[in-house]
């Protein structure tokens, strides 16, 4: 009973800043409301409109592509760096901090940096292609429908590799050294130790990193909004940017709230599927 008393303040705060806003968002999503006048109850009409709207379906597909790319690149690259650094190489602390720098830089600064890299006239990418004789590949990376989404994904992956690297590195460092010493005595190579000892022992942290990458990609907003604003012609649109435009530019609070509820439900369902996949895989060893 005494322990429960200390939990109550945190529970109340969590309820006020998370549960209550979600409840109100669900209520708003069932109404047609411009944010000022009287709201009109429309039931699930807003959700029905989401399903039939091509723009929203395209935004959902883009967010899933970003999520898949984040998991496929951020986690393996971060794991690779973590495995290398955890071996105690020279300059370990310096390299660890260097890899982590992109994550602690403001997203606005990161996006400004990559906008300069992608600039069609003086950008580093196009100038580099020109210098090596690949002028035919020069492009307006953020202004082309065919390349805008990929151009947005690259900075997202780059910014968060160091974050996952640090989490995995910390998990690897927590493994008792006796296990590695026994493996070396038995004649195990570095690759065998990595794949048969280290990676299986850090499975909980791998699951955490994949979950964070998944949820972060599904609800991503700032990078997309700053780099392309969802354009050109909605080529890089994601549900969060579409929701922002719907609520604050078109004053459709009810319809925009239904998008917010969709993002919450999508994150919840895919996270549960991910947890189930890891739990099922656990019994296959």
pLDDT tens-place string over residues 123-134: 999 999 988 988
* Alpha helix (H) residue ranges in 106-202: 107-118, 124-131, 148-173, 177-185, 190-193, 199-201
Q: Looking at residue 135, what is its pLDDT?
A: 85
With residue 40 as reference, give the H or E element that holds it. Answer: strand 40-41
> Per residue in 165-201, pLDDT tens?
999 999 999 999 899 889 888 888 888 999 899 999 9
Q: Are 234 and 55 in contact (CB under 8 A)?
A: yes
Reported as a single tens digit per residue, the pLDDT across 80-130 is 999 999 988 888 889 999 999 999 999 999 999 999 999 988 899 999 998
Q: Quick one: 251 exposed, middle or buried, by C-beta within 10 A (0-12, 13-18, 19+)?
A: middle
Domains of the chain (ranges; CATH) run 65-253 (1.10.3720.10)
Question: First vs last Cα of the chain: how many Å apart?
Answer: 40
Give pTM, 2 decimals: 0.91
pLDDT digits (tens, 9 = 90+) for 130-150: 889 888 888 999 999 999 999
pLDDT digits (tens, 9 = 90+) for 218-263: 999 999 999 999 988 889 999 999 999 999 998 899 999 999 999 9
| CA distance linking residue 44 with residue 30, whole number of Å | 6
């Amino acid at each position: 009973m005494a322990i429960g008393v200390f939990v109550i303040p945190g529970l109340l705060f969590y309820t006020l800043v998370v549960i209550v806003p979600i409840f109100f968002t669900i209520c708003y999503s069932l109404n047609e409301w411009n944010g000022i006048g009287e709201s009109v109850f429309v039931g699930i009409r807003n959700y029905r409109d989401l399903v039939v709207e091509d723009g929203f379906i395209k935004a959902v597909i883009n967010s899933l592509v970003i999520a898949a790319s984040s998991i496929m690149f951020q986690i393996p690259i971060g794991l690779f760096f973590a495995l290398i650094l955890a071996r105690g190489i020279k300059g370990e602390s310096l390299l660890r901090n260097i890899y982590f720098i992109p994550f602690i830089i403001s997203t606005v600064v990161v996006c400004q940096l990559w906008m300069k890299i992608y600039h069609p006239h003086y950008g580093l990418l196009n100038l580099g292609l020109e210098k090596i004789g690949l002028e035919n590949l020069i492009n307006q990376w953020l202004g082309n429908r065919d390349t805008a989404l990929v151009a947005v994904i690259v900075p997202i992956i780059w910014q968060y590799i160091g974050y996952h690297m640090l989490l995995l590195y910390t998990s690897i460092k927590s493994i008792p050294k006796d296990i590695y010493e026994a493996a070396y005595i038995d004649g195990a190579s570095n690759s065998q130790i990595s794949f048969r000892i280290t990676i299986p022992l850090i499975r909980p942290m791998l699951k955490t990193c994949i979950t964070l990458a998944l949820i972060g990609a599904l609800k991503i907003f700032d990078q997309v909004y700053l780099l392309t604003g969802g354009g050109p012609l909605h080529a890089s649109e994601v549900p969060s940017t579409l929701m922002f435009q719907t609520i604050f530019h078109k004053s459709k609070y009810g319809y925009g709230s239904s998008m917010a509820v969709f993002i919450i439900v999508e994150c919840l369902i895919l996270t549960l599927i991910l947890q189930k996949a890891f739990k099922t895989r656990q019994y296959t060893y």
